[in-house]
Amino acid sequence: MASAVHEVTPEEASSHPEPEAVVVRFAGDSGDGMQLTGGQFTLSTALAGNDLATFPDFPAEIRAPQGTTFGVSAFQINFGSTSIETAGDAPDVLIAMNPAALKMSVGVLKPGGLIIADEGEFSARNLAKAGYDANPLEDGSLAKWQLVHFNISQLTLDAVKPLGLGNKEALRCKNMWTLGLALWMFDRDRKPIVDWLNAKFAKAPELAEANIAALNAGHAYGETAEIGGPMKQHHIAAAPVEPGLYRTVTGAESISLGLVAGAQLASLSMFFGGYPITPASAILHHLSRLKEYGVTTFQAEDEIAAIASAIGASYAGSLGVTSSSGPGIALKTEAIGLAIMTELPLVIVNSQRGGPSTGLPTKTEQSDLYQAVYGRNGDAPMPVIAACSPADAFDCAIEAVRLAVQFMTPVMLLTDGYIANAAEPWKVPDMAGYKPFPVEFLKEAPADGFKPYARDDKLKRPWVKPGTDGLTHRIGGIEKAVDTGHIDYAPANHQAMTEIRRDKVLGIANHVPEQEVTLGEAEGKLVIVGWGSTFGPIHQAVRRQRAKGKDVAHIHIRHIWPLPRNLGGLLGGYEKILVPEMNTGQLKTVLRDQYLVDAQPLNKISGQPFRIAEIEAAIEEALA
């Protein structure tokens, strides 16, 4: 193959600078290993020093029919030399492993973006499964994008043929071939992936050897094929970061570490009672590997048993924790009321997903805010906290533990499928900078006698380990008498206890930070108010609009209930309030109710996160 060599001048180089950020989307069948490919590309990207954010997007079916559109699994990563806060609006590069993957992802590809397709999978049968009447690689329908296609399947078979694998086993290495090509495209080191493969297949070295051969072959293809045109090598410089130890974390990992850190700061052992449900199951998986930190994990037979066991652990003097998603939280609701009535500390993690019922089990949504704030029988107030990113989930978990033990109350921590599964770099904190909040159990009766529902200045009742001499008391779901804890149905007593529980939770507002303006001024024409995982797209949209001279600010709320004590006054300084949410307007309704402000909704209920452009368009419309 002939080639021409041209030495690039400094002037030419400066006129075509390397991009500050790139969005790559891997898409294929759910059996093609796209999540694994994306995860390992994320590892190499983090080691290269880039800032990054990821978006795993996989089907709900355990194993959808091969080659169908509803079986497409995708992994999107946005990485660059600047601050990255979302997984990107539109990919610059789409790697499509079959026609269905192309069909499901090409619509979001940036105009002029690059498509790399495995033409070996574009058979008549697969085209029909994806709903194509003609081969899009040949009919010109992809003309507005740059298209490169070659037979990745055959190239993989050729690469691993000397190792004696059958075709079926050999094709399982196709994702590693693709990863090798991606590593070449973005100037990534293969060694960490090789080390990972050797460790993963330590008991089957022939499989490690095959996957490494495929990885090297994909990398070599990029080096030697001389395709030219759009497929070239890019170097993305490292992002400027503060010195320190960094690791990549998902939201599930971050929450798990934060719960353990919170228990340590409270000087408590931790009991986690859980039941598998997407996307919350990963928390149980991570915590089960942290036994050396005083963590006991229990996979219960159902959601009710999971939370009941955690409440029992709290009664016994441990930090009880449970986790689920919306349907499981619904099953736990009666027991949450029990924890509120007994006034025991409990942390409940809700990794939200599309609902109602089974809904969209692998997609993201923010539709459980009403459930978290209001969703129990009786007047049953409970603090609610929302994490805004995978890294933020660590501090939010610690805060949830602090509130639970300092106020003797269950606390709900909201994340969602996007936060739980997505990954980003996290600077491992120095725990010496966190103020401990050790629990003090009541060990002997006061001089005036033991009152199990006596209150301190926070309206918190004492925490007593069962079996402590002289401190026998009743506990349970029936209303208790003020101070004594005896069963008491009297109307005046029930009103008094209901108001005490309400005031205890509302009083938490005096023990959490005041709300700050995340970006912009404390008054103006428009404020975008967000919570949870909408942080990234809101922040980027507001930043871009402010760069254009628009009078817009961003407020992001961590403490959903009770709301920060200064929030009402803060919102009063803006002419317009816009609340983007992945629901039908739940925080908007709470803000209207609490502050009588004309908060306007921006809703998205598609199972997909907001794009920056969607929020920018809403800002421009609101200010028009």
Q: What is the CATH number of the domain that holds 286?
A: 3.40.50.970
Per-residue model confidence (pLDDT) at position 226: 62
- 210 and 285 belong to one structural domain: no
| Residue at 491 is within a domain | no
Residue at 152 is within a domain: yes
Q: Among residues 433, 448, 482, which one ends one of the domains? A: 433
CATH number for the domain spanning 86: value is 3.40.920.10
Distance of alpha carbon 452 from alpha carbon 224, whole angstroms: 76
Q: Please determine, for residue 552, whether its predicted confidence score (pLDDT) is greater than 50.
A: yes
Q: Are residues 220 and 259 in the same domain?
A: no
Q: Identify whether the C-beta of residue 76 lies closer than 8 Å to the C-beta of residue 87.
A: yes
| Tens digits of residue pLDDT in 437-462 | 999 999 999 999 999 999 999 999 99
DSSP state of 172: T
Q: pLDDT grade, residue 14 (50/70/90)?
A: very low
Asked if 96 and 27 count as a contact pair (C-beta separation under 8 A), the reply is yes
| Contact partners, residue 12, CB within 8 Å, separation at least 6 | none
The CATH number covering residue 554 comes to 3.40.50.920
Task: Please answer whether residues 598 and 577 qualify as being in contact, where contact means their C-beta atoms are separated by less than 8 angstroms.
Answer: yes
The domain total for the chain is 3
Range of lowest pLDDT (59-68, 244-253, 272-281, 532-541):
59-68
**In 3-state terms, what secondary structure has residue 209?**
helix
Mean pLDDT for all residues in the chain:
94
Q: Region 392-397: what's the mean pLDDT?
A: 98
46-93 tens-digit pLDDT: 999 999 999 999 888 777 888 899 899 999 999 999 999 999 999 999
Which residues does 27 contact at the CB level (< 8 Å), separation at least 6? 34, 72, 73, 74, 75, 94, 95, 96, 97, 101, 102, 104, 105
Give 570-613 pLDDT, tens digit per residue.
999 999 999 999 999 999 999 999 999 999 999 999 999 999 99
Two tokens, residue 608: 């997909």
Q: What is the percent of the chain where pLDDT is above 90?
A: 90
3-class SS letters over 444-503: CCCCCCCCCECCCCCCCCCCCCCCCCCCCCCCCCCCECCECCCECCCHHHHHHHHHHHHH
Burial of 471 (0-12, 13-18, 19+ CB in 10 A): middle
pLDDT digits (tens, 9 = 90+) for 167-178: 888 999 999 999
Asked whether the predicted pLDDT for residue 1 surpasses 50, the reply is no
What's this model's pTM, rounded to 2 decimal places? 0.93
Structure tokens at 41: 């590309």
Of 224, 239, 257, which closes a domain?
224
- Could you tell me if residue 231 is inside a domain? no
> What is residue 19's predicted lDDT score, i.e. its pLDDT?
72
Indicate whether 210 and 292 sit together in one domain: no
- The average pLDDT across 301-314 equals 98
Task: Identify the three-state secondary structure at position 102.
Answer: helix
Residue range 284-293: mean pLDDT, rounded? 97
Residue 572 CA: distances (Å) to CA of 70, 521, 526, 566: 46, 13, 11, 10
Q: Using CA atoms, how far apart are residues 153 and 173, in angstroms rounded to an integer? A: 9
272 shares a domain with 217 = no
- How many helices and strands in the chain, by DSSP H and E? 21, 19
- State residue 66's pLDDT score: 87
Residue 54 lies in a domain: yes
Tell me which residue range forms the domain holding 571.
517-623
For residue 443, the surrounding DSSP H or E stretch is: none
Looking at the fold, whether 194 and 254 belong to one and the same domain comes out as no
Encode 505-543: b = buried (16+ Cβ within 10 Å), e = exposed.
bbebbeebeebebbbbeeebebbbbbbbbbbbbbbbbbb
Q: Which of 192, 244, 153, 213 is nearest to 428 (CA)?
A: 244
Pair (269, 210) in one structural domain:
no
> Is the per-residue pLDDT at 15 higher than 60?
no
556 and 616 belong to one structural domain: yes
Residue 211 CA to residue 213 CA, distance in Å, equals: 5
User: Residue 461 falls within a domain, yes or no?
Assistant: no
Does residue 528 contact residue 541 with C-beta atoms inside 8 Å?
yes
- Checking if the pLDDT of 18 tops 90, the result is no
Determine the Cα–Cα distance for residues 587 and 139; give it in Å rounded to an integer.
47
H/E element holding 312? helix 303-316
Whether residues 259 and 400 share a domain: the answer is yes
Q: Which of 399, 417, 433 is the last residue of a domain?
A: 433
Given pLDDT bands bounded at 50, 70 and 90, which one contains residue 229? low
284/429 same-domain check: yes
Q: pLDDT by residue (tens digit) across 89-112? A: 999 999 999 999 999 999 999 999
Query: Are β-strands 319-324 and 524-531 bridged in parallel, bridged antiparallel, or unpaired?
Result: unpaired
> Of 180, 178, 186, 182, whose CA–CA distance to 50 is shortest?
186
In which band, very low, low, confident or very high, does the pLDDT at 228 lie, cut at 50, 70 and 90? low
Pairing outcome for strands 246-250 and 423-427? antiparallel
Provide CB contacts within 8 A for 617, sequence distance 6+: none
pLDDT tens digit sequence for 493-512 = 999 999 999 999 999 999 99
Q: Is the pLDDT score of 12 beyond 70?
A: no
pLDDT single digits (tens) 321-367? 999 999 999 999 999 999 999 999 999 999 999 999 999 999 999 99
CB burial class (10 A; 0-12, 13-18, 19+) of residue 62?
exposed
Residue 233 lies in a domain: no
pLDDT higher than threshold 80 for residue 227: no
Q: Same domain, yes or no, for 182 and 256?
A: no
Residue 8, pLDDT score: 40
Does residue 192 share a domain with residue 48?
Answer: yes
208 and 261 in a common domain? no
Kindly state whether residue 104 falls inside one of the protein's structural domains.
yes
Which of 28-32, 78-82, 286-290, 410-414 has the least mean pLDDT?
28-32
Residue 554 in domain: yes
> Quick check: 473 pLDDT over 50?
yes
The CB density around residue 152, as the number of other CB atoms within 10 Å, is 25
